Amino acid sequence: MGMDVYGRDPTGESGEYFRCNMSAWTDLANLVISLCPDETDACKDWYTNDGDGLDAGGARALAEALTEHIQTGRVREYITQKSAQEQSYFEENVREFTDFLHESGGFRIW
């Protein structure tokens, strides 16, 4: 079982669809909520697949914040508690989600 995240108005292929298994999604949601509380606040149901999400402006703001946190090393700092193998996977997952956000035109979690 996993979370399927669909772009509302994708501007590129990476903005059409993003998928995570439940464990990876929980880790990802925890990270984005922790590092980007202002940008994630409009989505109330990060942990359910009820169709909540962010509009285009919200997704863009979250993408920009995550990009900055990747560049400054805050994402890497956040995930240092994971094993070395999990760190690499987790960091790549954050990058893929950030790419999705940039091109999603907003999203819904299903």
pLDDT at 78 over 80: yes
With respect to residue 47, please indicate whether it lies within any of the assigned structural domains: yes
With respect to residue 2, please indicate whether it lies within any of the assigned structural domains: no
The DSSP line for the chain is -EEEEEESS-SSGGGTEEEEEHHHHHHHHHHHHHH-HHHHTT---TTS-SS-EE-HHHHHHHHHHHHHHHHHTHHHHHGGGS-HHHHHHHHHHHHHHHHHHHHHSSEEE-
| Residue 94: band (very low, low, confident or very high) from pLDDT cuts 50, 70, 90 | very high
pTM of the model: 0.94
CA atoms within 13 A of residue 27's CA, in its CB half-sphere: 20
With respect to residue 41, please indicate whether it lies within any of the assigned structural domains: yes
Q: What number is the average pLDDT over the span 22-39? A: 95
With respect to residue 20, please indicate whether it lies within any of the assigned structural domains: no
pLDDT at 30 over 70: yes
With respect to residue 12, please indicate whether it lies within any of the assigned structural domains: no
Average confidence score pLDDT of the chain: 94
Q: What residues make up the domain containing 95?
A: 27-109
Number of structural domains (the chain) is 1
